[in-house]
């Protein structure tokens, strides 16, 4: 099983994906760890990534997802903001992806980001994330206003 927890930065992807990983006994991966240094530097400078910046990152993730799908599976925390990104991530293998969309208001997410320490993604880039976000009509859509344990319980009961 491949589970991709996605949404804008600060929506709780890492927290929820780690919790799912522990509960489901699947390996956890964070898509942020797959970014080339140039992308991290650009975001650290407060600049948004464009599709050209994201392509090598997405291709690397797609290759990894293909490998994970042939073994025990995985839980991946990934922004996957646009439909074309999600399509790219789900190519080259037959395993169905369980998409979990974390939805929340810009105000709530900005507050979370402003209290977060040690992350290169600034809340100044949040508006660009919402501008890029294409909400799918598939997958499980989960409100992030609840406690992470409640969110994880809901997800597990619906997958």
How much is the mean pLDDT over the chain?
88
Averaged pLDDT for residues 34-55: 85
- This prediction's pTM: 0.87
State pLDDT tens for residues 88-118.
Answer: 998 866 678 999 999 998 888 877 666 655 5
Distance, CA of 66 to CA of 57 (rounded, Å): 14
State pLDDT tens for residues 114-151.
Answer: 665 554 454 456 677 888 899 999 999 999 999 999 99
Averaged pLDDT for residues 51-75: 92
The pLDDT value recorded for residue 50 is 86
What is 2-158's CATH topology? Rossmann fold (3.40.50)
Higher per-residue confidence, 48 vs 158: 158
The pLDDT value recorded for residue 115 is 63
Distance, CA of 159 to CA of 148 (rounded, Å): 17
Strands in 97-103's sheet, in edge-to-edge order, are 28-30, 74-78, 2-6, 97-103, 140-143
The pLDDT value recorded for residue 116 is 58
The full set of domain ranges for the chain reads 2-158
């Amino acid at each position: 099983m491949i589970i991709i927890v996605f949404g804008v930065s600060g929506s709780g992807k890492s927290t929820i994906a780690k919790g799912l990983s522990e509960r489901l006994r699947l390996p956890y991966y964070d898509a942020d760890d797959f970014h080339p240094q140039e992308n991290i530097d650009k975001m650290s400078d407060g600049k948004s990534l464009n599709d050209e910046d994201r392509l090598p990152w997405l291709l690397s993730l797609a290759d990894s997802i293909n490998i994970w799908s042939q073994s025990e599976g995985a839980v991946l925390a990934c922004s996957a903001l646009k439909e074309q990104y999600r399509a790219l991530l789900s190519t080259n293998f037959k395993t169905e992806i369980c998409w979990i969309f974390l939805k929340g208001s810009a105000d709530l997410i900005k507050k979370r980001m402003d209290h977060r320490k040690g992350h290169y993604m600034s809340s100044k880039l949040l508006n660009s994330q919402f501008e890029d976000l294409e909400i799918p009509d598939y997958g499980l859509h989960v409100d992030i206003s609840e406690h992470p344990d409640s969110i994880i319980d809901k997800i597990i009961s619906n997958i």
